[in-house]
Structure formats: C-alpha cells, structure tokens
C-alpha cells in the first residue's frame, strides 16, 4: 500500500514511537496522580515532561499545555466554554473543519450566535483584509477560529494578520493547529487557544491532543470529573491545564507523544514535506484532465494537495486508486463543509486529497501519477 492519507492520521509512525507505546502499555500504564506509590508518581512526571516538550515547540510555558483525548474534544471544550451570548458574532475561515463548524452550530441551537465566514480571495487564497476590517467594524468579532493549515487544500492560512486585527476588538482567537503542530509550528503572539492533535502532524498515537493557552480560567468548565485531587470539592480547579483535564490521563498516548516530539526535533520533516509538496503539485499539474486546487502562489501549500479528474466523481477516483493500485487517498468533503464552495469542487462531490507524511517518497508520487495517467 502507498499511504497518502496522512491528514487523517500519519502512518507509519517512527519506529521509536511504536516501541515507546508498547513499552508504556506494559510498564507505565498506571493512573497518574491518583496513587501514593512510585509508578503512579512516575506517570505524573512523564505528563509534566510531555507538557514541557510540547511547549518547547512554540516557546510556551509547560503549564500552558493541557492534554485531552482528541483535537475535537479540545475544540468542543473551547467553543462551549467561551462565554458566548445571544447576539455575539463568531468568525471562521472558509477552510474550517467540522470539529469547529459542528460545535458552533450545536451551540447555535441554544444561543443565538451569528457564524460568519471570513472573505478570502479565490485566486490568491489570501484573506481580504480590508473587507475583514470592515466586517469587524460593523459586526464586532467575539471569537475567531482559523486553522493554521487547511485539511482539504493544504493552505497555510495567514492567521497572524487576521488575529492581529481581531485583537483590536478584544476578540478571543483560536488557532486549530491539528494539521501542522510539530512540523510547522505557529506563532502564538495573538493566539488565545492553540489546539494540537497527537496522531496527526505530531506523529504520536490516537488518544492524546491538547490546548496551549494562558487563559484556562476564562473558560467555563464543560467536562468535569475526578482528577485525583481535592476529591471533596465538587468543582474543577479554577485555573491551569487541570481545569479542563478530568478522568484518567492516557499516560500511554502521552508517553508516545513525548517520544514523537523528541523525534520531530531531530528530523527535518518540514523540509521533506515542502520538497515533496512542490514535486506533487508539479507532477499533478503536468497531467491532462486533472484539476489541481491551488492558489496563485503554490508555496502557500504544505503537505496536502486536493484535485479532481474531469469526468469522475472524487469518490470514484479514490476507489480506483485503492482497488487497482493499492494507493490510499481520501475523497469527498473531508469534514469541511465550506471549502468546496470556495474552490468549486461540489460538482465532483468534493475532492481527491493527497496528504503527505514524513515517510512518503518521490517514488510514491511517481506511482500515483502513473496510476492517474491510466484514467
């Protein structure tokens, strides 16, 4: 199998991560912070060390890093935890994923928020900043959600400029870094909450993700439960990452993340992905009947490229690639409801998406191109 669905989950992981997960399952899988015994305390230390390792990617403080089970959970805790009220305006980019869109619409069932889509130029894929400033001045932003890297198009979205404008309105800024954290690390200067996913660009396993923030105390508690301390208190802690961490920590997944984050620091996956992305775009663009979705400046894409083949629905192409060539890609809407209107891919029922990882090669791309030529 040639695996080209690394945005869904990176595969394979580095060998050291598999070894770490196996070791942790057999030797470290105790309940951190809940026992007065050595291996439980050891688990707590591993969690602290992993907070430090994640924080170091973005020069944050370890105490800003929380761990939850998935980026979806992290985004739900933020969205439902913000003190949004009737009439508040929330902005998202057209590239956002259902991990943001659905919780916002879930909230909208109870609170009359307005969900507005930021205008982006369909040629350059750049934010239309003057128009955004105008929108903000008319309908002040209460919260804004942007993905650092679009899971459908591979676009590195210019969140920095948008967040800088947002901050003039005392707006809460949320950066979804699920597709990039660890590889292309964000600048958190104007970011209130940054979300990362262990099993994607961080090359760890399912079961761990988290938030980097100085502002946990500003979130309402949504999920609560035992946290091994202060058992007689019916409330979660007032501040710090523990405010949103309830239930037994997944120490095995956290130890895997510690291992993978060390591996990432010693391997230039960014350079590898940049090179392969350029090669992929160039190779796809050379084919007839292929529509490659890209902005005028292709250097804004990283690791992910979407395309379609004239005369085929996206699902049909992915099915042929799997059945006839053992090439694993993803097709359809990719849980991103608004981007297909933006790139005009609805007539293909979405896109065929190629998402690259640390272990893909030029040969993988050559084989994909060879397969596509047969269509």
Where is 65: in which H helix or E strand?
A: strand 65-68
Given the complex with a second copy, which of 24 and 264 has the nearer CB atom? 24
Taking CB under 8 A as the rule, does residue 303 contact a second copy? no
Given the complex with a second copy, which of 165 and 258 has the nearer CB atom? 258
In the stretch 79-118, what mask flags binding to a second copy with x, by CB under 8 A?
Answer: -x----------------xxx-xxx-xx------------
Applying the rule CB under 8 A, the residues between 325 and 364 that interact with a second copy are 326-337, 340, 350
Q: Distance from CA of residue 370 to its chain's centroid?
A: 31
Considering the complex, what minimum distance in angstroms separates the CB of residue 112 from a second copy? 15
Determine the interface stretch with a second copy among 37-45, 153-161, 277-285, 297-305 (rule: CB under 8 A). 37-45
Taking CB under 8 A as the rule, does residue 242 contact a second copy? no
Applying the rule CB under 8 A, the residues between 61 and 80 that interact with a second copy are 69-73, 75-76, 80
Given the complex with a second copy, which of 40 and 187 has the nearer CB atom? 40
Given the complex with a second copy, which of 1 and 138 has the nearer CB atom? 1
Which of 234, 266, 288, 363 contacts a second copy by CB under 8 A?
Answer: 234
Given the complex with a second copy, which of 249 and 300 has the nearer CB atom? 249
Taking CB under 8 A as the rule, does residue 59 contact a second copy? no
Taking CB under 8 A as the rule, does residue 29 contact a second copy? yes
Given the complex with a second copy, which of 130 and 225 has the nearer CB atom? 225
Question: In DSSP terms, which residues pair with 209 in a beta bridge?
Answer: 68, 197
Taking CB under 8 A as the rule, does residue 34 contact a second copy? yes
Token pair recorded at residue 198: 């262990």
Applying the rule CB under 8 A, the residues between 273 and 302 that interact with a second copy are none
Considering the complex, what minimum distance in angstroms separates the CB of residue 133 from a second copy? 27
Adjacency order of strands within the sheet including 193-197: 65-68, 209-212, 193-197, 172-176, 141-147, 89-92, 114-117
Angle subtended at Cα 217 by Cα 216 and Cα 220, rounded to the nearest 5 degrees:
90
Between the CA of residue 181 and those of 95, 100, 175, 223, what are the distances in Å? 17, 17, 11, 24
Where is 106: in which H helix or E strand?
A: helix 98-108
Contact between 197 and 71 under an 8 Å Cβ cutoff? The reply is yes
Taking CB under 8 A as the rule, does residue 252 contact a second copy? yes
In angstroms, rounded to a whole number, what is the distance separating the alpha carbons of residues 156 and 285?
Answer: 20
Strand-pair category, 172-176 with 141-147: parallel
Considering the complex, what minimum distance in angstroms separates the CB of residue 273 from a second copy? 19
Applying the rule CB under 8 A, the residues between 176 and 195 that interact with a second copy are none
Taking CB under 8 A as the rule, does residue 221 contact a second copy? yes
Which of 232, 288, 363, 374 contacts a second copy by CB under 8 A?
Answer: 232
Adjacency order of strands within the sheet including 290-293: 290-293, 304-309, 351-355, 330-332
In angstroms, rounded to a whole number, what is the distance separating the alpha carbons of residues 193 and 201?
Answer: 18
Determine the interface stretch with a second copy among 83-91, 119-127, 250-258, 367-375 (rule: CB under 8 A). 250-258
Q: How many other β-carbons are positioned within 10 Å of the β-carbon of residue 87?
A: 11
Token pair recorded at residue 30: 């105790």
């Amino acid at each position: 199998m040639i695996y080209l669905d690394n945005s869904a989950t990176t595969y394979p992981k580095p060998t050291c991560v598999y070894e770490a997960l196996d070791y942790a399952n057999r030797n470290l899988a105790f309940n951190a912070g809940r026992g007065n015994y050595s291996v439980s305390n050891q688990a707590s230390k591993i969690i602290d060390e992993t907070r430090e390792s994640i924080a170091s990617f973005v020069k944050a403080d370890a105490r800003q890093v929380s761990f939850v089970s998935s980026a979806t959970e992290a985004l739900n805790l933020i969205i439902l935890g913000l003190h949004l009220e009737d009439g508040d305006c929330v902005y998202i980019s057209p590239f956002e994923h259902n991990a943001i869109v659905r919780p916002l619409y879930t909230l909208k069932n109870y609170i009359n928020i307005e969900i507005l889509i930021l205008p982006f130029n369909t040629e350059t894929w750049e934010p239309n900043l003057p128009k955004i400033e105008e929108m903000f001045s008319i309908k002040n932003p209460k919260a804004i959600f942007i993905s650092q890297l679009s899971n459908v198009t591979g676009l590195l979205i210019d969140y920095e400029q948008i967040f800088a404008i947002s901050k003039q309105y005392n707006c809460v800024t949320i950066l979804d870094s699920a597709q990039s954290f660890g590889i292309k690390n964000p600048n958190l200067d104007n970011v209130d909450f940054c979300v990362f996913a262990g099993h994607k660009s961080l090359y760890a396993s399912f079961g761990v993700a988290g938030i980097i923030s100085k502002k946990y105390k500003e979130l309402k508690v949504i999920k609560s439960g035992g946290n091994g301390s202060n058992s007689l208190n019916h409330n979660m802690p007032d501040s710090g990452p523990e405010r949103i961490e309830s239930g037994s920590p997944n120490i095995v997944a956290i130890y895997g993340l510690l291992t993978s984050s060390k591996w990432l620091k010693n391997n230039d996956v960014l350079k590898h992905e940049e090179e392969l992305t350029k090669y992929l775009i160039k190779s796809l663009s050379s084919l007839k009947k292929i529509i490659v979705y890209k902005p005028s400046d292709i250097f804004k894409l990283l690791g992910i490229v979407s395309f379609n083949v004239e005369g085929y629905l996206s699902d049909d192409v992915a099915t042929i690639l799997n059945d006839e060539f053992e090439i694993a890609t993803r097709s359809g809407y990719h849980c991103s409801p608004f981007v297909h209107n933006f790139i005009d891919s609805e007539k293909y029922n979405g896109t065929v998406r190629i998402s690259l990882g640390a272990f893909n090669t030029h040969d993988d791309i050559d084989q994909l191109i060879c397969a596509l030529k047969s269509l």
